[in-house]
Amino acid sequence: MRSIFTEIYFLMKTLFINIKELLQVREPNIDKISGADMAILPKINNAFLLIENNIIADFGPMVNCPINVKAETIDAANKIILPTWIDSHTHMVYAGNRIQEFVDRINGLSYEEIANRGGGILNSAKKLNETSEDEIYEQSKIRLEEVMQQGTGAVEIKSGYGLTVEGELKMLRVIKRLKENYSLPIKATFLGAHAFPIEYKENHAAYLDLIINEMLPKIAAENLADYIDAFLETGYFSVDETVKIMEAGKKHGLTPKIHVNQFTAIEGIKACVENGALSVDHLEIVTDEDIAVLKNSNTMPVALPSCSYFISIPYTPARKMIEAGLPIALATDYNPGTTPSGNMNFVVATACIKMKMTPEEAINAATINGAYAMGISNTHGSITKGKKANIIITKPITSFYQLPYEFGSNLIDKVMIDGKFI
């Protein structure tokens, strides 16, 4: 008869055996993968994986599988195990929806036209400021739980639908509550510079002052954000305005992660790299000059293919960027207007189908490079001893190529986050 201590110890260990393919094996750990290396996805066929105390303790071919291990043993024959997806760019804390704008686009209106008549971000801001913090939390946790079931094991969430001091604080407090109540890593990004409120449309300097001198100090005082962001784009925030925001954020310990080059290229990427941005996100439009600036920098380019799919804009030129030696991460852009989905499986498939990334490249982009873009590559994003046990166990499939190939099927059997099945 086991003692209580032995029983508890037993339950803290999980041993997977006969794994058809164990993907994204990285020993030693690396922070990110670039260029031609993105086509290499290290794996072990017929493998075992031992989880202990919520940490990856051991793995290897079945011939080396430890015997007589007191652990819950799971036979993963014909199944694939890989790290959970890392979604480094979302806006999943919001109120309501923008279904009417979806119909408006079908009827021929562009994103810019919808925005110019009070839709878009300003529409979401109006709804959010009219909705209580508790209600926003209840709506947001449903979205979070859904993406966890779809294999996402870490997520960045932005503010940016408040555009007022109280509205931005409300969003960031909701994100903080999600952090406290769920076991996956959640990073909060302050995106007060998402759009100019109507009352500041002709007075940008006053809104920048509100962001820098009122919002930021209060956010810092409550420790509500990890990163700072701005929508650096023609018609939104200029390069000079974004630089001021990045500089102000850094004074409060917030590293930049910036929306840039979604519709136009206005040398925003250069400004982001010069200001130490962890990532530059969207990049549907990329020039040769942008690629040259990004090369050998510490800034991760992040592509958001489901946004391109949903609003019918160009896709990030992944092939050109990878062939130039750049790394790429993939994320969802989950938001109510341009990507009302947080499904990373669809993102990976779309990257393969529309951006011509290989399955190896797409999985690397959605795991280890996504972890880099979130600042968590030391603890997540690969099968590495000592990293957190955040893993996807597939249903029986023939190859990991099946994941993007069967883009409309749910091929996930179970998801483990922090060593526990969800």
Average pLDDT over residues 90-98: 96
Rounded-to-integer distance, Cα 3 and Cα 9, Å: 10
- Tell me which residue has tokens 């952090």: 179
**pLDDT tier, 5 (very low <50, low <70, confident <90, very high otherwise):** very low
Rounded-to-integer distance, Cα 243 and Cα 114, Å: 27
Average pLDDT over residues 130-140: 97
Average pLDDT over residues 342-363: 98
pLDDT at 1: 39
Strands lying side by side in the sheet with 85-87: 85-87, 152-158, 186-193, 227-232, 255-260, 279-282, 300-303, 329-330
pTM > 0.85: yes or no = yes
Q: How is the chain split into domains, by residue range?
A: 4-84+382-421, 86-374
**pLDDT tier, 2 (very low <50, low <70, confident <90, very high otherwise):** very low
- pLDDT score of 101 more than 70: yes
Q: Does this chain's domain 4-84+382-421 share its CATH topology with 86-374?
A: no
Fold of 4-84+382-421: Urease, subunit C; domain 1 (2.30.40)
212-244 pLDDT per residue, tens: 999 999 999 999 999 999 999 999 999 999 999
Average pLDDT over residues 151-167: 97
> Higher-confidence residue: 14 or 67?
14
Cβ contact 72:414 at 8 Å: no
Cβ contact 419:224 at 8 Å: no
Answer yes or no: CATH 3.20.20.140 is held by domain 86-374: yes
**pLDDT tier, 118 (very low <50, low <70, confident <90, very high otherwise):** confident
- pLDDT score of 10 more than 60: no
Nearest C-alpha neighbor of 326 from the set 280, 363, 381, 380: 280
- pLDDT score of 116 more than 90: no
Q: What is the 3-state secondary structure (H, E, C) of the chain?
A: CCCHHHHHHHHCEEEEEEEEEEECECCCCCCCCCHHHHHCCCEEEEEEEEEECCEEEEEEEHHHCCCCCCCEEEECCCCEEEECEEECCECCCCCCCCHHHHHHHHCCCCHHHHHHCCCCHHHHHHHHHCCCHHHHHHHHHHHHHHHHHCCEEEEEEECCCCCCHHHHHHHHHHHHHHHHHCCCCEEEEEEEECCCCHHHCCCHHHHHHHHHHHHHHHHHHCCCCCEEEEEECCCCECHHHHHHHHHHHHHCCCEEEEEECCCCCCCHHHHHHHCCCCEEEECCCCCHHHHHHHCCCCCEEEECHHHHHHHCCCCCCHHHHHHCCCCCEECCCEECCCECCCCHHHHHHHHHHHHCCCHHHHHHHHCHHHHHHHCCCCCCCCECCCCECCEEEECCCCCCCHHHHCCCCCCEEEEEECCEEC
pLDDT at 115: 82
pLDDT at 9: 46
Cβ contact 38:20 at 8 Å: no
Average pLDDT over residues 242-263: 97
Tokens in use for 181? Answer: 């109540």
pLDDT at 8: 46
**pLDDT tier, 134 (very low <50, low <70, confident <90, very high otherwise):** very high
Q: Per this entry, what is the length of the chain?
A: 422
Percent of the chain residues past pLDDT 70, beyond the cut: 97
pLDDT at 11: 55
**pLDDT tier, 296 (very low <50, low <70, confident <90, very high otherwise):** confident
Q: If you average pLDDT over every residue of the chain, what do you get? A: 95
- pLDDT score of 337 more than 70: yes
- Tell me which residue has tokens 């592509």: 303
Bond preceding residue 217 cis, omega within 30 of 0: no
